[in-house]
Every structure is written in C-alpha cells, then in structure tokens.
Amino acid sequence: MAQFFIINHSKKKNELMSKTLFSSNFSESIVSEKCNLKKCLKSINTGLLLACIICSETNKLIGIITDSDIRKALLKGASLEDSVLTWMNADPALAYKQSTLEDLCSL
C-alpha cells in the first residue's frame, strides 16, 4: 500500500505548510530504525506529520509508519515492543520539491 503526502498548491496554504514542516516538532516525527512501535506512537502523538519517518543511522529514509499501520499491526498480533522494521512501509511513494502536479497524480 503506497503512502504519501499531498501538499495543496494554493499560495497561503503552501506558506503555512512550509512553516509547519520546519518547526521544531517536525524532528519529533523522525525516528531511528532501532525504534519499537511504542516509540513510534509517542513520536506520532507529539509530531506534526501524523506519521513516523524511519531513518537509518546515516539519516537515509528507510520507511514510514502511521498510527493506522500500528493499529493494524496490533490487531494482527504485534506487540508495542516489536521493531518498527517489521511493520513499516519500506516502499513509500515519494514526491520531490520539483515534482509536477502530473507527477504527483501518477503516484
């Protein structure tokens, strides 16, 4: 299942989005690949993205996980102590700053 973020292109909303993404709470949404599901839930709760970005020790994106993904994992028998690597989306759809609207629609 692909997961991605859509940014509204109206000028006012883009300005608001830029301020939000670079606030100090944005860093709360980035977690280490060594995290468990409980740590991810805490990060989702305090961050602004409603998802966790999982990065390697070299700060490379390796996946994302949402609270919905964690709830589904728990219903399948996961523990809050399980590694995020087991349940994250390791192949999220990505959009880049230079992406066109056509690029975004093809995700």
Q: Is 47 helix (H, G, I), strand (E, B) or coil?
A: coil
Per-residue pLDDT of the chain (107 residues; tens, 9 = 90+): 334 444 444 444 444 344 444 444 577 889 999 999 999 999 998 887 889 999 998 888 999 999 999 999 999 999 999 999 999 999 988 888 788 888 878 87
| H runs (alpha helix) in the chain | 11-21, 37-46, 67-75, 84-87, 101-105
Q: How many CB atoms lie within 10 A of CB 72?
A: 13
pTM (2 decimals)?
Answer: 0.70
Q: So what's the pLDDT on residue 97?
A: 79
